[in-house]
Structure 1
């Protein structure tokens, strides 16, 4: 059996690295082969899955430095019938790639907005003269290097190796423990694991409206690991809420909490009940 897996491309992105890790996991644990399909954006990666053009999508959801990848949450809320199968956390090591002769000669630096933000302090200190230009992915940024001798790009070691590009500086991370969590998503429901991700919206955002849902979880001693608001995009000041919690949806307290929460909210979506697989540097080296 072969599964088609969509990810944010082109080859060499951190999303591809995460997808390769998951492909290896599928092969070793479930004897399933995978075919990787690069997609131009995170949103389109999820839409490719929703349309049935892929069996699985791997998308970034949170970085330890810059926080949530908002487009992932927004798109997952918009689409129907998608379920988180697994969380996958990988270490992130950014590198500055350039064909320029010196750092002083670099006038522009291209990369994904998250990568630029994760290296902001280093860039301000070492390349204060450079204009920072966002791209759709860390690999897309590399396309500029052959045309612009004064350009640099922040990307992965794998990308440098794939495209035979010189690394000017290794490990630009502002913080050493930089990692990104990805979600492995498919159309198949997944109802067991140690983590639950859900989102809900109210009929109207009235004062104190969030207190009751939070009290439900508190009363049942359910540990919330994250809560975040996102605009509904209908009206200024209207929000929906994303929540991560510890537990299994088959457990009575969580079952009961979700039933009560459903009666308080206009829309409640449970995205998945899943475990998290942590990939270390050694495992990553075996992939890339």
Structure 2
């Protein structure tokens, strides 16, 4: 059996690197083969899975420097049918790529918003006057270099090698232990594991509305490794809440907690239980 896997493209993105790592994982653990299919955005990657165009999708969800990837969370909530199969953690090392002779000639830098944010201190210290322009992916940023000799792009060493472009500086991420967590999602039920992700909306916006929903996990002795809010995009001040648990939905304590949580929420979505692999 061969799986089709969607990821943010074009070739050379960190999402492709994560998808490639997952392909190796499938070969090593299950002897399964896979083919990769690039999509122009994270949202389109997820929708491709939801529509059945591909079997799996690999998307970034959280970076150790910049935090959560809002497009992934917002689209996952909107689609409502995808389940997390696996989480992958990859080290991320950024390079400044340009056809300019030296960094001082660069007037503008292109990259994905997450990459720009992860290199913000380096840019402020070394290229304080350059304009920073966001692109859909780090690899897409490289497309500007042929037309603009005073442009730079932030992408991976692998991307520079693939497109035969020179690296002026590496690494330029602000923290050396920079890493990103990716989710592998599909329409299939999640396989289970020691991590669970979910999201919910509350019944109304009033003081203390989160106390009881969060208390159910404390009462069952379940650790929350992440919690954050995202706007519903309907009303100002109206939020969704995303939570990661260090537990499996098959655990009796989790079943009890989720049953009680449902009584305190307007909408509750369980994205599945899964394991995390470091690659």
CA offsets, 1:138-185, max 9 Å, x none?
A: 000000111111111000011011101111111001111100000000
> What SS is found at the alignment partner of 1:266?
strand
Rounded Cα–Cα distance in structure 2 between residues aligned with 1:200 and 1:104: 48
- Tell me: CA distance 1:136–1:169, structure 2 relative to 1, closer, same or farther (3 Å): same
TM-score using structure 2 length: 0.99
CA-based RMSD: 0.8
User: Could you tell me how far 1:129 is from its partner in structure 2?
Assistant: 2.1
Paired position in structure 2 for 1:245: 245
Summarize the alignment of residues 5-44 of structure 1 with structure 2, pairs less than 5 Å apart.
5-44=5-44
Rounded Cα–Cα distance in structure 2 between residues aligned with 1:170 and 1:191: 38
Unpaired runs of at least 5, structure 1: 280-288
Rounded Cα–Cα distance in structure 2 between residues aligned with 1:41 and 1:109: 20
Rounded Cα–Cα distance in structure 2 between residues aligned with 1:49 and 1:68: 21
Rounded Cα–Cα distance in structure 2 between residues aligned with 1:29 and 1:110: 38
Q: Is the 8 A contact 1:191 1:250 kept in 2?
A: no
User: Could you tell me how far 1:80 is from its partner in structure 2?
Assistant: 2.2
Rounded Cα–Cα distance in structure 2 between residues aligned with 1:230 and 1:244: 14
Rounded Cα–Cα distance in structure 1 between residues aligned with 2:172 and 2:61: 21
User: Could you tell me how far 1:191 is from its partner in structure 2?
Assistant: 4.5
CA offsets, 1:229-288, max 9 Å, x none?
A: 111111111111100010111111001001111122111100010000011xxxxxxxxx
> What SS is found at the alignment partner of 2:81?
coil
Paired position in structure 1 for 2:186: 186
Paired position in structure 1 for 2:126: 126
Q: Is the 8 A contact 1:191 1:248 kept in 2?
A: no
User: Could you tell me how far 1:203 is from its partner in structure 2?
Assistant: 2.2
Q: Is the 8 A contact 1:60 1:69 kept in 2?
A: yes
TM-score using structure 1 length: 0.96
Paired position in structure 2 for 1:173: 173
User: Could you tell me how far 1:122 is from its partner in structure 2?
Assistant: 0.7
User: Could you tell me how far 1:97 is from its partner in structure 2?
Assistant: 0.5
Rounded Cα–Cα distance in structure 2 between residues aligned with 1:3 and 1:188: 13
Rounded Cα–Cα distance in structure 2 between residues aligned with 1:191 and 1:239: 29
Unpaired runs of at least 5, structure 2: none
Q: Does 1:200 align with 2:200?
A: yes
